[in-house]
């Protein structure tokens, strides 16, 4: 038997983290077992559709390497893979369920349903449809249909007994039939609800393993009643634990929690995001934390999926992202960092390999780059208090002495290379009889105007070039003289 899994998102906006994790696990399970991963777009909730959302889903899956074998934009033998293009299929199966007694036509008006809901609220009871239209005779139903009365088709849930199934994560799940409601399968506009569409599509697309969020755990028995009514095989189920923002609140697209694209815009790498969410609810058999996608395919096992909620830890994601940034080659880093370089400097005027060497090991996210480099384009207006550093034994007074000593040495260098700058400053340290930091710290402040920089005074001076370095030292000397008068 060929393993077939599916990811079936609704195109209601950007793909959020919980949805991407579902897609990842469905992909990993299929590929681990030599199977197929299918993308299906569930767009039957017409009121919540967002333009371009399907394109975002296609793009996100391709960006993350979750290549689907069948789907709306790649085709396949079980299409169409967009539910709104399958309306006739759902109508046919809804009517077949009616013929089999597993569903029935309901002609109740909004007014009747509102009244029923009000009665339930008055009694403190949860609203549940009262099967009113189940008692209609075939003749009454035909007359109403012939008259063009609006209708829905509802599932006919047994009132007694219970329905049980086995989940590969949560084990045996049993729900009393009396707890389930005669939900609508086909709406008055001809579109199916999730209840009908997911069952029909999973059967027709030969899905063997349904992987989805825990919110469907207690609803699955009513889907299974539909499988049984149609004499179809019930798939295996793998329900996933929720992803929580904290101990109390679930991550939610509707509550504005970050989507995949939000994280990319915040400077996170695609591979790091995917690696991190793989570990949100799944533990490998060893302590490995950094995985490539092929390594995840090899390591993934459903036995490692937890029943407990997973807490989304942004700090852990930042740590992992930093690991991914450090693992980039120089060429890869420069290519990915270029949009951020351009926000702070003119890349053509600076030694990008040197900048890469200085900042790549210090970054958690790429969006930190502009703030770390902005001083290279323009000297910030800094306060001379920066020249005070107790640990380095530097004061504004000593800083003035050392800057005035460094200036002519740097001015007279025949070649302003990193090596020449380094050697000349080390000779000056020895000549002055001071520690390295007593000279290099005030020099770094003068050329950067900031308390923290990637790299030290020597690298920054080389990046700036001779003219700009001397100009900034002159500014530092002038600032100190003015303040110390």
Q: Give the residue numbers marked as catalytic.
A: 253
pLDDT of residue 258: 79
Domain range list for the chain: 4-71+194-243, 87-186, 379-484
What is the tens place of the pLDDT at every residue in 143-202?
Answer: 999 999 999 999 999 999 999 999 999 999 999 999 999 999 999 999 999 999 999 999
Q: What are phi and psi of 481, to 5 degrees?
A: -60, -40
Q: How confident is the model at residue 50 (pLDDT cuts 50, 70, 90)?
A: confident
Q: How confident is the model at residue 247 (pLDDT cuts 50, 70, 90)?
A: confident
What is the tens place of the pLDDT at every residue in 208-242?
Answer: 999 999 999 999 999 999 999 999 999 999 999 99
Q: What does pTM read for this prediction?
A: 0.92
Q: How confident is the model at residue 39 (pLDDT cuts 50, 70, 90)?
A: very high
> Does the annotation place 479 within a ligand binding site?
no
Q: How confident is the model at residue 86 (pLDDT cuts 50, 70, 90)?
A: very high
Q: What is the 3-state secondary structure (H, E, C) of the chain?
A: CCCEEEECCCCCCCCEHHHHHHHHHHHHHHHHCCCEEEECECCCCHHHCCCCHHHHHHHHHHHCCCCCCEECCCECCCCCCEHHHHHHHHHHHHHHHHHCCCEEEECCCHHHHHHHHHHHHHCCCCCCCCCHHHHCCHHHHHHHHHCCCCCEEEECCCCCCEEEEEECCCEEEEEEHHHCCCCEEECCCCCECHHHHHHHHHHHCCCCEEEEEHHHCCCHHHHHHHHHHCCCCCCEEEEECCEECCCCCECCCCCCCCEHHHHHHCCCCHHHHHHHHHCCCECCCCCCCCCCHHHHHHHCCHHHECCCCEECCHHHHHHHHHHHHHCCCHHHHHHHHHHHHHHHCCHHHCCHHHHHHHHHHHCCCHHHHHHHHHHHHCCCCCCHHHHCECCCCECHHHHHHHHHHHHHHHHCCCCCCHHHHHHHHHHHHHHHCCCHHHHHHHHHHHHHCCCCCCCCHHHHHHHHCHHHHHHHHHHHHHHHHHHHC
pLDDT at position 252 over 70: no
pLDDT of residue 52: 87
Please give the mean pLDDT across all residues of the chain: 95
What is the tens place of the pLDDT at every residue in 107-137?
Answer: 999 999 999 898 888 888 888 899 999 999 9
The fold of 379-484 is Arc Repressor Mutant, subunit A (1.10.10)
pLDDT of residue 449: 97
Q: How confident is the model at residue 256 (pLDDT cuts 50, 70, 90)?
A: low
What is the tens place of the pLDDT at every residue in 1-13?
Answer: 999 999 999 998 8
Homologous superfamily of 4-71+194-243: HUPs (3.40.50.620)
pLDDT of residue 255: 60
Tell me the two tokens of residue 464. Answer: 């700036």
Share of the chain above pLDDT 70, in %: 98
- Weakest-pLDDT range from 30-39, 323-332, 450-459: 450-459
pLDDT of residue 253: 59
> CB count, 10 Å around CB of 265?
12
Q: How confident is the model at residue 257 (pLDDT cuts 50, 70, 90)?
A: low
Residue 314: partners with Cβ closer than 8 Å, 6 or more residues away: none
What is the tens place of the pLDDT at every residue in 337-360?
Answer: 999 999 999 999 999 999 999 999
Q: What is the CATH number of domain 87-186?
A: 3.90.800.10
Q: Distance between CA 429 and CA 424 in Å, rounded? A: 9
């Amino acid at each position: 038997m060929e393993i077939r899994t599916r990811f079936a998102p609704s195109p209601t906006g950007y793909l959020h983290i919980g949805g991407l994790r579902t897609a990842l696990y469905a992909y990993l399970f299929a590929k681990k077992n030599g199977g197929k991963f299918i993308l299906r777009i569930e767009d039957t909730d017409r009121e919540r559709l967002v333009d371009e959302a399907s394109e975002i889903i296609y793009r996100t899956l391709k960006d993350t390497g979750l290549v689907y074998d069948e789907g709306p934009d790649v085709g396949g033998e079980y299409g169409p893979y967009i539910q709104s293009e399958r309306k006739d299929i759902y109508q046919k199966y809804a009517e077949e369920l009616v013929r089999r007694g597993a569903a029935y036509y309901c002609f109740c008006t909004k007014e009747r349903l509102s009244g029923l809901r009000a009665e339930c609220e008055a009694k403190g009871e949860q609203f549940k449809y009262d099967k009113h239209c189940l008692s209609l005779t075939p003749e009454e139903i035909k007359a109403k249909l012939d008259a063009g009365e609006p209708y829905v088709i509802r599932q006919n849930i047994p009132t007694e007994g219970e329905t049980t199934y086995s989940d590969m994560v949560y084990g045996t799940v049993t729900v009393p039939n009396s707890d389930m409601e005669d939900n609508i399968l086909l709406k008055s506009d001809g579109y199916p609800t999730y209840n009908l569409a997911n069952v029909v599509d999973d059967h027709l697309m030969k899905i063997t393993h349904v992987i989805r969020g825990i919110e469907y755990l207690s609803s699955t028995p009513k889907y299974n009643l539909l499988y049984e009514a149609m004499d179809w095989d019930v798939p295996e189920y793998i329900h996933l634990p929720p992803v929580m923002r904290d101990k109390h609140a679930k991550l939610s697209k509707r509550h504005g929690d970050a989507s995949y694209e939000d994280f990319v815009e915040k400077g996170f790498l695609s591979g790091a995001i995917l690696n991190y969410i793989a570990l949100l609810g799944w533990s490998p058999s060893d302590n490995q934390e950094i995985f490539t996608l092929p390594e995840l395919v090899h390591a993934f096992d459903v036995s490692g999926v937890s029943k407990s909620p997973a807490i989304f830890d942004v700090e852990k994601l930042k740590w992992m992202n930093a690991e991914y940034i450090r693992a980039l080659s120089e060429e890869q880093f420069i290519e990915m960092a270029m949009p951020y370089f351009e926000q702070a400097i003119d890349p053509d005027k600076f030694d990008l390999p040197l900048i890469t060497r200085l900042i790549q090991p210090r970054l958690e996210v790429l969006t930190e780059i502009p703030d770390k480099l902005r001083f290279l384009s323009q000297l910030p207006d800094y306060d001379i208090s920066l020249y005070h550093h107790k640990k380095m034994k530097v004061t504004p007074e000593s800083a003035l002495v050392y800057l005035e000593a460094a200036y002519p040495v740097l001015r007279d260098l025949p070649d302003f290379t990193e090596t020449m700058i380094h050697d000349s400053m080390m000779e000056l340290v020895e000549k002055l009889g001071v520690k390295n930091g007593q000279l290099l710290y005030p020099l770094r402040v003068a050329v950067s105007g900031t308390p923290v920089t990637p790299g030290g005074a020597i690298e920054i001076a080389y990046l700036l070039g001779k003219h700009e370095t001397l100009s900034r030292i002159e500014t530092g000397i002038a600032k100190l003289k003015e303040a110390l008068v």
